[in-house]
A = this chain, B = another copy of it.
Amino acid sequence: MNTTLAWQDAPAPAASRATPSLRTWQPEEFEARLRACESRYHIHHPFNRRLNSGELQPFQVRGWVANRFYYQLCIPQKDAAVLANCPDREERRRWIERILDHDGRGDFEGRNAGGIEAWSRLGQAVGLGHEALWSQRHVQPGVRFAVDAYVNFARSRPWEEAAISSLTEMFAPKIHADRLAGWPSLYPWVQPEGLAYFRQRIPLATRDVEHGLEVARRWACTRERQERALQILHFKLDILWSMLDAIERAYPDDLPMELRP
């Protein structure tokens, strides 16, 4: 899986590979093709399958939480890059919600504290100290390279392309729901209030996807762009998958005690 995607960040390679003579897909067919990419979503990665079926040891869950935190930290920068490239005030007024969702808003208390804070509470709930999480000292190089590729993509490409790359959120409600359903019995040692992040994200992901799909449908008005959109979604799916590759490799079942988070 995910082994043969040719992708280059700088030039848009779709131009040379697309088939502009073919018909533009109807909106329903285009959306169905986007949704069919679910088969490459990291919900199917061996490490996530083990995570959500209760097979991991506490240090492996902690390793996952500590590494995934780097993704959380970078999301507002990614979204700010989208905003920075977007000349349309109406679109910016909608997109800015994503930054507020993660960095927090208003009094920054409770739900207003934002997704990064919620993830930080998840860190506490799995037994990671504040310093262990925020120092980023457990973050694997392969995780950094993958996440940074996402931020750099958003910085360097048109905002519509970056919006399309965020459409992996189409598949997120299921992965969050799996965690909410399974973790309390599978990992009773995790403090349940730590799971609030997953609960919060379900309605927000649904709203984000609605906006993302609107942008995708409007932007992808030719078959060439529709194929480019699929390629962008593959690129983002590869990022999530590659993160789990690096996490899985860093936390094997028999990792020496002194290296365990």
Is A14 interfacial (CB 8 A cutoff)?
A: no
- Copies of this chain, how many? 2
Complex Cα spacing A36 to B246, Å: 25
How large, as a class, is the contact surface on chain A?
Answer: 20 to 34
Given A149-B148, A149-B149, A249-B249, the answer on whether A142 and B242 have CB atoms closer than 8 Å is yes
Contacts A245-B246, A250-B3, A259-B3; is A239 near B145 (CB within 8 Å)? yes
Contact A4 B149 (CB under 8 A): no
CB-based nearest B residue for A234: B141
Residues of chain B contacted by A136 (CB below 8 angstroms) = 6, 8
A135 contacts B by Cβ under 8 Å:
yes
Question: A9 near B: Cβ within 8 Å?
Answer: yes
User: A139 vs B238: C-alpha distance in the bound complex, in angstroms?
Assistant: 12
Residues of B within 8 A of A9 (CB): 144, 148
Per-residue contact bits, chain A 1-34, to B (CB 8 Å; 1 contact, 0 not): 0111111110000000000000000000000000
Inside 8 A of A246's CB, which chain B residues have their CB? 142, 242, 245
- Asked if A140 is at the interface (CB within 8 A of a chain B CB), the reply is yes
Give the complex CA separation of A142 and B152 in angstroms. Answer: 15
Q: Is A146 an interface residue (CB 8 A)?
A: yes
Interface, chain A (partner B; CB < 8 A): 2-9, 135-142, 144-146, 148-149, 152, 235, 238-239, 241-242, 245-246, 249-250, 259
7 closest cross-chain pairs (CB), A and B = A141-B238, A145-B145, A145-B149, A6-B136, A142-B242, A145-B146, A141-B242
Task: Using A4-B138, A142-B245, A145-B148 as known contacts, list a sample of 4 further A-B pairs with CB atoms less than 8 Å apart, ordered by residue number in A.
Answer: A4-B137, A145-B145, A145-B149, A152-B152
- 30 A-B residue pairs with CB within 8 Å: A2-B141, A3-B140, A3-B250, A3-B259, A4-B138, A5-B141, A6-B135, A6-B137, A6-B139, A7-B141, A7-B144, A8-B136, A9-B144, A9-B148, A141-B146, A141-B239, A141-B241, A141-B242, A142-B145, A142-B245, A142-B246, A144-B149, A145-B146, A145-B148, A145-B239, A148-B149, A149-B149, A152-B152, A245-B246, A249-B249
